[in-house]
Amino acid sequence: MEVKSDDGLFQDAIGRLDAASAYAKIDQEALERLKYPKAILQVSIPLRMDDGSLKMLTGYRVRHDDARGPTKGGIRYHPDVTLAEVKALAFWMTCKCAVVGIPFGGAKGGIKVHPKELTPLELERLSRGYIRRVADFIGPETDIPAPDVYTNAMVMGWMMDEYSKIQRQHCPAVITGKPIPLGGSEGREDATGRGAYYCIKELEKIRQLKPEKTRIAIQGFGNAGRHAARLLHQDGYKIVAVSDSKGGIYNPDGFDVPSLIHFKNKTREVKAVYCKGTVCEIVEADAITNEELLELNVDILIPAALENQVTEHNAPKIKAPVIVEIANGPTTPEADEILTSSGALIVPDILANAGGVTVSYFEWVQNKSGLYWPELEVQDRLKQIIAREFNALYGMSSEKDISMRTAAYAQALSRIGRAIEAKGTQTYYTNHK
Total chain residues near ligand NAD (CB under 6 A):
25
Q: Which residues of 7-23 are buried (b: 16+ CB within 10 A; e: fewer)?
A: ebbbebbbebbeebbeb
> Pick from 431, 340, 350: which is nearest to 390 by CA?
350
Beta bridge partners of 303: 219
Backbone φ/ψ region at 254: left (φ over 0), alpha (ψ -120 to 50), beta: left
245 binds ligand NAD per the rule CB under 6 A: yes
CB closer to ligand NAD, 107 vs 420:
107
User: Which residue, among 329, 344, 350, 334, has the nearest Cα to 405 in the 3D structure?
Assistant: 350
Cα 293 from Cα 275, distance rounded (Å): 24
Residue nearest to ligand NAD as judged by C-beta position: 222
What's the CA angle centered on 147, arms 247 and 43, to 5 degrees? 105
Which of 10, 23, 150, 197 is the binder for ligand NAD (CB under 6 A)?
A: 150
How far apart are CB 311 and ligand NAD at their closest, in Å?
Answer: 13
3 lines the binding site for ligand NAD (CB under 6 A):
no
Establish if 328 lies at the interface with ligand NAD (CB under 6 A). yes
- Cβ closest to ligand NAD, residue 145 vs residue 356: 356
Q: Are 193 and 273 in contact (CB under 8 A)?
A: no
368 given a catalytic annotation: no
DSSP character string of 69-104? SSEEEEEEEETT--HHHHHHHHHHHHHHHHHTT-S-
Binding span for ligand NAD by CB under 6 A among 22-30, 125-133, 301-309, 364-372? 301-309
- Kindly state the DSSP code that residue 310 receives in the 8-state scheme: B
Please identify, using beta-carbon distances, which residue of 17 and 156 lies nearer to ligand NAD: 156
Q: Which of residues 186-205 bind ligand NAD (CB under 6 A)?
A: 192
Best CA proximity match to 133, nearest among 39, 44, 63:
44
Query: Catalytic one among 72, 108, 178, 264?
Result: 108
From the list 143-151, 278-286, 381-389, 395-403, the region that binds ligand NAD by CB under 6 A is 143-151
Out of 66, 122, 148, 421, the residue judged to bind ligand NAD by CB under 6 A: 148
> Under rule CB under 6 A, which residues in 215-234 are in contact with ligand NAD?
219-225
Using an 8 Å Cβ cutoff, are 190 and 358 in contact?
A: no
Minimum CB separation of residue 268 from ligand NAD in Å reads: 9
Q: Does residue 243 interact with ligand NAD by CB under 6 A?
A: yes
Binding to ligand NAD by CB under 6 A, coded x per residue (else -) over 355-374, reads -x------------------
Question: Which CB sits closer to ligand NAD, 24 or 118?
Answer: 118
- CA dist 138 and 345 (Å) reads 37
Does 304 bind ligand NAD (CB under 6 A)? Our answer is yes
State the Cα–Cα distance between residues 214 and 238, nearest whole angstrom.
6
Task: Judge whether 239 and 218 are in contact, CB under 8 Å.
Answer: yes
| DSSP bridge pairs for 239 | 216
Asked if 162 is part of the footprint of ligand NAD (rule: CB under 6 A), the reply reads no
For residue 377, the minimal CB distance to ligand NAD (Å) is 19
For residue 67, report the phi and psi dihedrals to the nearest 5 degrees. -60, -35
In angstroms, give the least distance from the CB of 36 to ligand NAD: 22
Q: Based on CB atoms, which residue is closest to ligand NAD, 304 or 402?
A: 304
DSSP at 375: H
Pair 404, 345: CB distance under 8 Å: yes
DSSP class of 42 = E
Would you say 190 or 202 has its CB closer to ligand NAD?
190
Determine, following the binding rule CB under 6 A, whether residue 184 of this chain makes contact with ligand NAD: no
Residues 71-130, interacting with ligand NAD (CB under 6 A): none
Nearer to ligand NAD (CB atom), residue 13 or residue 402: 13
Where does this chain touch ligand NAD (CB under 6 A) — which range of 10-18, 35-43, 146-154, 370-378?
A: 146-154
Contact 386, 196 (CB under 8 A): no
**Known catalytic residues?**
108
Residues near ligand NAD (CB under 6 A): 1, 147-150, 192, 219-225, 243-245, 290, 304-306, 326-328, 353, 356
